[in-house]
Structure 1
Amino acid sequence: MADRSEIEYWLTDMDGVLVHENHPIPGASELLAEWTESGTPFLVLTNNSIFTQRDLAARLRASGLLVPEQAIYTSAMATADFLKQQRPGGKAYVIGEAGLTTAMHEAGFIMTERDPDFVVLGETRTYSFDAITKAIRLIGSGSRFISTNPDATGPSAEGPLPATGAVAALITKATGMEPYVVGKPNPMMFRSAMNRIGAHSEKTAMIGDRMDTDIVAGIEAGLHTILVMSGISDEAEIVRYPFRPDEILTSVADLLRQS
Structure 2
Amino acid sequence: MTETSRWNYLMDMDGVLVHEEHLIPGADEFLAELRAHDIGFLVLTNNSIYTPRDLRARLQRTGLDVPEAAIWTSALATAKFLDSQRPNGSAYVIGEAGLTTALHSIGYVLTDRDPDYVVLGETRTYSFEAITKAIRLVEAGARFIATNPDETGPSREGVLPATGSVAALIERATGRAPYFVGKPNPLMMRSALRSIGAHSERALMIGDRMDTDVRSGLEAGLHTILVLSGISTVDTADRFPFRPTRVIDSIADLVGNANNPFPDGV
TM-score (norm 1): 0.96
For each residue in 1:210-257, what CA deviation from the matched residue of structure 2 results, as whole angstroms up to 9, or x when unmatched?
000000110100001000110111122111111100000111111111
Hey, what's the Cα distance between the residues in 2 that align with 1:236 and 1:146?
A: 34
> Contact (CA 8 Å) 1:7, 1:205: kept in 2 or not?
no
State the one-letter code of the partner of 2:177: E
State the one-letter code of the partner of 2:80: D
Hey, what's the Cα distance between the residues in 1 that align with 2:200 and 2:139?
A: 39
Hey, what's the Cα distance between the residues in 2 that align with 1:102 and 1:35?
A: 29
For each residue in 1:52-109, what CA deviation from the matched residue of structure 2 results, as whole angstroms up to 9, or x when unmatched?
0000000000011110011000000000000000000001000000000000000111
Q: CA RMSD in A?
A: 1.1
Aligned to 1:246: 245
State the one-letter code of the partner of 1:129: F
Alignment partner of 1:205 is 2:209: no
| Cα shift at 1:7 | 4.5
Aligned to 2:114: 115
Secondary structure of the residue that 1:233 maps to in structure 2?
coil
What are the within-5 Å matches in structure 2 for residues 118-129 of structure 1? 118-129=117-128
- Point out where structure 1 has 5 or more consecutive residues left out of the alignment: none
Aligned to 2:213: 214
Secondary structure of the residue that 1:123 maps to in structure 2?
coil
Hey, what's the Cα distance between the residues in 1 that align with 2:124 and 2:69?
A: 25
State the one-letter code of the partner of 2:118: V
* Identity among equivalent pairs (%): 67
| Cα shift at 1:6 | 4.4
State how many pairs are aligned: 254
State the one-letter code of the partner of 2:132: T
Hey, what's the Cα distance between the residues in 2 that align with 1:129 and 1:33?
A: 45
Aligned to 1:159: 158
TM-score (norm 2): 0.94
- Point out where structure 2 has 5 or more consecutive residues left out of the alignment: 258-266
Aligned to 2:188: 189
Change in CA separation of 1:221 and 1:72 when aligned onto 2, cut-off 3 Å: same
For each residue in 1:130-161, what CA deviation from the matched residue of structure 2 results, as whole angstroms up to 9, or x when unmatched?
11011000000000000000011111111111
Aligned to 1:51: 50
Aligned to 2:225: 226
